[in-house]
Amino acid sequence: MAGLEEAFERIGAAAEHHLPRTNAPGLSLAVTDADDTLGAVVRGFADVAAGRPVLPDTRFQIGSIGKSFAALCVLQEAAKGTLSLDVSINEVLPWLELPEPFGPIALHHLLTHSSGLMAGNIEAGWGMIDAVRARSHPPSWAPGQRFWYSNLGYTLVGLALERASRTPVHRLLMERILGPLGMTRSVGAILEDDRPDAAVGYEPIDADRVPHLQTPLGPAVWQPSTTADGSIVSTAPDLCAYARMVLARGGDLLEEASFARWIGPYVDSGERGERYGYGWDVLDRDGRRVLRHTGGTVGFSALLELWPDDGLAVAICQNGSGDQGPLAAFALGTVAAAVRGDEPPAEPSWAAPAAAELAGTYVGTERSLRIELAGGEVMIHAGPLAVPLERIWSDPDELVVPHPALDRYPLRVVREPGGTVAGLAHGPAWFPAEGRAEPDPADHPPAWEAFTGLYRTDSPWTRAYRVYLRRGRLYLLLPVGGDEQELLPLDDGAFAVRDPELPMRVRFTEPVEGQAQTLEFNGMRLTRSFEA
């Protein structure tokens, strides 16, 4: 098709603009229709040190995209009568002894992230030990009541599959999906044997501060895993073969009724603005039905997005972090326009801070900040420093100051109920907008002083947390994700993270000379670091 060549040239140009806006050295992208892969784009390096470029058959870890693979196998077993989606997981796995204070947790709840179980404990160990530790962290609400993304839930799904099929889950994926679909470059587990043949994963070298576009990257740990929550290693063209099966409504792998149950959707996933099926995000975007799922492991990120009514899908794999959503939508829109002979969409504009409403002076107790538009960039001034602000997350009120003096914390825009900017929060510091009276800071219990500081762990998933006080409140920050959450005290001495109903609990233990030495997050232990 004549227009496709030009379409993929445009997609390649967009990919070149996309990579510098993410923490990833390379990417592979492929687009397919219902019959065949239409084209592919590769950019950057699979291994920076070796100068090895990304090729179309370069393997990447695809993370949670693999959840829909596991769900498909569950439906195959359900059709055979070897698994029931509606009985307690404790009946499926008699050794589990999972607490069910609000009623039975069924496979349906695990598949839809509505079990109320914690996200997962990934301090060390995989699979069975994660399930055993879940006994100490019961669900927070009745199964099916609300959405809470849980990798632990899909770990249990994989263990249920293994018991029902008497086959390790990675082999089951190969026998049921990867092999039949001709996904010859894909494997159902992250194994050391496949590492030399795959892209090198990359992550920010600094775990104690918020990443930005100038953050140096280093090779990530390669973590062997076979759990069903996301252990597939694949390629963008192989994912297109999987997508074609989905566009064919299950093809030879699922009957129509099972396919409909696979897609759902069932649960409103809240702030994600989507609904969730069995391993699928389902949404309406400007009147178009979209099926998608992102994936992320240590050093890798990926996205599979389908437009069923257009008969198109795109797969993007990166050896680093980054939001592939805008690039995926642009790629599909560009190909759809080429197929129809329509005008192609405009290339996505990369997120930038909103200069007009942020411009002004913010006066803190120790120093002031000033934001202004200069030379087309949104600049923040802090004493002699003048640094362009960056926005790397989807939330326009979450910003980064790319300078070693200010990148330990995200810069958060705090608004009044009507949307007016009230001030800026930067870790423990508060900067009200100039002219706004600074209220007296709320008191905090003196005991909380013992909790503040930097805590580290050997887990490559977590690496570090910061705890600090701001205006009488206690906060927990995962620096590498810029994820700041308030800690709320509970009667038993623990803290809830953000919302007492969510299955997230923090405890501070082992005090020495007025400082807690250990932070426990759902049983995962981090220890106090010497750094500020």
CA distance 414 to 167: 52
Instruction: Please name the residue that has the structure tokens 């049983």.
Output: 523
CATH hierarchy code of domain 355-432: 2.40.128.50
- If you write DSSP's letter for every residue of 43-111 in order, what string do you get? EEEEETTTTEEP-TT-BEE-GGGHHHHHHHHHHHHHHHTS--TTSBHHHHSTT-----TTS--BHHHHH
Residues 419, 426 contacting (CB under 8 angstroms): no
Q: CA torsion sign, 145 to 478 to 46 to 327?
A: positive
1.10.150.390, 2.60.40.420, 3.40.50.2000, 3.40.710.10: CATH of 2-65+187-340: 3.40.710.10
Q: Torsion over CA of 47, 50, 53 and 58, rounded to 10 degrees?
A: -50
Domain ranges of the chain: 2-65+187-340, 70-165, 355-432, 446-528
Residues 232, 185 contacting (CB under 8 angstroms): no
Residues 252, 237 contacting (CB under 8 angstroms): no
What pTM was computed for the model?
A: 0.95
Closest of 9, 64, 58 to residue 319, by C-alpha: 58
Closest of 158, 165, 167, 295 to residue 239, by C-alpha: 295
| Class (C level, CATH) for 446-528 | mainly beta
pLDDT 10s per residue in the chain (532 long)? 558 999 999 999 999 999 988 889 999 999 999 999 999 999 999 999 999 999 999 999 999 999 999 999 999 999 999 999 999 999 999 999 999 999 999 999 999 999 999 987 665 456 788 888 889 888 989 999 999 999 999 999 999 999 999 999 999 999 999 999 999 999 999 999 999 999 999 999 999 999 998 899 999 999 899 999 999 999 999 999 999 999 999 999 999 999 999 999 999 987 656 899 999 999 999 899 999 999 999 999 999 999 999 999 999 999 999 899 999 999 999 999 999 999 999 998 876 777 778 999 999 988 999 999 888 889 999 999 999 999 877 788 899 999 999 999 999 999 999 889 999 999 999 999 998 876 666 789 999 999 999 999 988 888 999 999 999 999 999 998 888 999 999 999 999 999 999 999 999 999 999 999 999 999 889 999 998 7
Closest of 386, 411, 392 to residue 211, by C-alpha: 392
Cβ neighbour number for residue 232 with a 10 Å cutoff: 33
92: Cα separation from own chain's centroid: 29
Helix (H) or strand (E) holding 397: none
Same fold, 2-65+187-340 and 446-528: no
